[in-house]
Amino acid sequence: MKVRYTLSRSLVIDRSWPFFLDLTVAMGLLAGFYAVLQIARYWLSGPVPEVVISQSPRMLPLYAFYSVVRIGVAYLLSLLFAVGYGYVAAYHRRVETLMIATLDILQSIPVLSFLPGVMLAMMSLIPSRQLGIEFGAILLIFTGQVWNMAFSFYTSLKSIPRELHEACTINRFSRWQRFWQLELPYSTIGLVWNSMVSVAGGWFFLMVCEMFPVGNRNFRLPGLGSYLQTAASTGNSLAMIYGLSTMIAIIVLTDQLIWRPIIDWSDKFKFENVEAAERVTSPVLAALRQSNVLGILHQRTFAPFSEYIYHLISRRQQRHEAEDKVEKSKMSSTVIAVIFAVLIAGLICFAAFKAILLLRHIPGSDFGNLLAGAGATFFRVNVSLLFAAAWTIPAGVAIGFNPKLARIAQPLAQIAASFPATALFPVILLALMKLGAGLGIGSIVLMMLGTQWYILFNVIAGAMAIPSDLREVARLFHFTSMQRWTTVILPGIFPFLITGLVTASGGAWNASIIAEYFHLKDQTLHTLGLGAQISAASDSGNFPVLLLATIIMALMVVTINRLVWRPLYKLAETKYRLEG
């Protein structure tokens, strides 16, 4: 009996090259160890706020490594935070609505506005180590990628079927077991897809926050972003090509070595029992599954550890049940919670009051300027959305309807989407300026570059979700192509299109900060817009204007979400739902 069980499926597979595989895994572990050591030495060194960025391609691997570590650390922080935040929001009804509203607003706040503040704060927090500046950059990337993950985890938790929860309750699963066997697996797929979006967003911000001026100081961190910026500002096109190639290499490697294996692996967490037409397969995952080293590592470390935890928890639970429930502790914990809540509320009120005091000194003319800028940026964001939708809808529908095309186009589009638009900004700006276009038009192109993918992916998903019998009906009755689009395709993709547009709109507002104001070859290009005003204020250290502009932008995004997107969303969910 026992023997048969231990022959689990992965081991039954014929193992080719087991020694080679194990060696690879072992080398990977060693390399990881060395990398940690290297990073620790660099981070704990004294602070060098204005690192000289070399343009030699030989420095690129090291720069790329530093950037990857920043992204990785920020991502791990995001994951932890997202899971914690989502968990608390889902299970504490008292704070749930507040937490979700907060999430909504935080998602709309332009992250880049906080760049100078965060950097200065971190510098003064850890003044004697490089860690301070590094941590500032990481924190910014973190704030750029955490919200959608938190939201995804929260919605997953909320949509767990009731009977699964009951199965856990009736069998008295501990929180620990429920988390590992129900909650985390159930939300894995959502988390994975959002992680991909988040990491792509992380690269977008990393390109900017590795090198930026605040007032009279110029912060620089050694990394791929600063390398590209230096290359652009000195007009060194060879270095730019090196940098961009490195970026592409990183994106492709991340896709092959991390995302594909993870997507392949996460397939087992699909809750629906629908057969997937085609699933992502990964040779890397297959190799890892066959590795001896990992199997033994799991058996020797993780498995006994988890046994130990389960044992501990059940013993504690039994003891808990033996004692009668003590009401007193519950009382005191609520008192503590109330005191805590009051304290936090007081702190928030105080800080908000102080912030508003800052705004007193802004002259009326500045205020008018900001409003005009907001109008200009609003116009630009919507034009960029319109253009993006104009090409992505036909392209997305074509890809979605044609499985063969999808097989080729989707991975390519995914890589293209992961490529940070900010890395391409200088190249595209140079090209546009040669054509004689100013930043006014250029910024629209730049916004589009960053946000069109959200629409494309959603349209593809929407087109794939249209049931084939609906399309067959259209063919059967010889619908004209106009009729096909208005009665089948557009209503069919509508919910997906809205999701894509909401995300793209938020992204475009955020991108405006970079797109409307750019350092290129020793000159600063800028055009009228709220984004440019935020950037300029942060460059010159004009904090009151920075704060006001940020508030205006956040307000606009939130208002547009409430007034435009949410009603459309509701319409999509009620009228245009495709499930029976």
Residue nearer to another protein on the CB measure, 185 or 541? 185
Residue nearer to another protein on the CB measure, 101 or 312? 312
Q: How far is the CB of 351 from another protein (least distance, A)?
A: 35
Residue 261 vs residues 281, 286, 311, 458: alpha-carbon distances, Å: 7, 8, 32, 22
Over the range 123-149, which residues count as b (16 or more CB within 10 Å of their CB) and which as e?
Answer: beebeeebbbbbbbbbbbbbbbbbbbb
Separation CA 98–CA 96 (nearest Å): 5
Q: How far is the CB of 188 from another protein (least distance, A)?
A: 8
Q: How far is the CB of 166 from another protein (least distance, A)?
A: 6
Q: Which residues contact 343 (CB under 8 A, 6 or more apart)?
A: none
**Most distant CA pair in the chain: distance in Å?**
83
Residue nearer to another protein on the CB measure, 5 or 353? 5
* Nearest 10 degrees: Cα torsion 186, 187, 190, 193: -100
Q: How far is the CB of 265 from another protein (least distance, A)?
A: 10
Q: How far is the CB of 179 from another protein (least distance, A)?
A: 13
Separation CA 16–CA 527 (nearest Å): 60
Residue nearer to another protein on the CB measure, 163 or 579? 163
Give how far the C-alpha of residue 147 lies from the chain's centroid of Cα atoms, to the nearest Å: 8
Residue nearer to another protein on the CB measure, 169 or 281? 169
State the sign of the Cα–Cα–Cα–Cα dihedral 315, 320, 321, 323: positive
* Nearest 10 degrees: Cα torsion 221, 256, 416, 240: 40
Of 46, 507, 424, nearest to 225 by C-alpha is: 424
> For the packed helices 184-209 and 131-158, what is the interaxial angle rounded to 10 degrees?
150
Q: How far is the CB of 153 from another protein (least distance, A)?
A: 16
Residue nearer to another protein on the CB measure, 55 or 181? 181
Return the DSSP state at 44.
Answer: T
Q: How far is the CB of 202 from another protein (least distance, A)?
A: 28
Residue nearer to another protein on the CB measure, 1 or 476? 1
Identify the three-state secondary structure at position 214: strand
Residues near another protein, by CB under 8 A: 1-5, 8-9, 161, 163-164, 166-167, 169-174, 177, 181-182, 185, 268-271, 273, 307, 310-311, 313-315, 317-318, 321
Looking at the DSSP assignment, which residues form a beta bridge with residue 520? Answer: 523
Q: How far is the CB of 112 from another protein (least distance, A)?
A: 39
Residue nearer to another protein on the CB measure, 314 or 483? 314
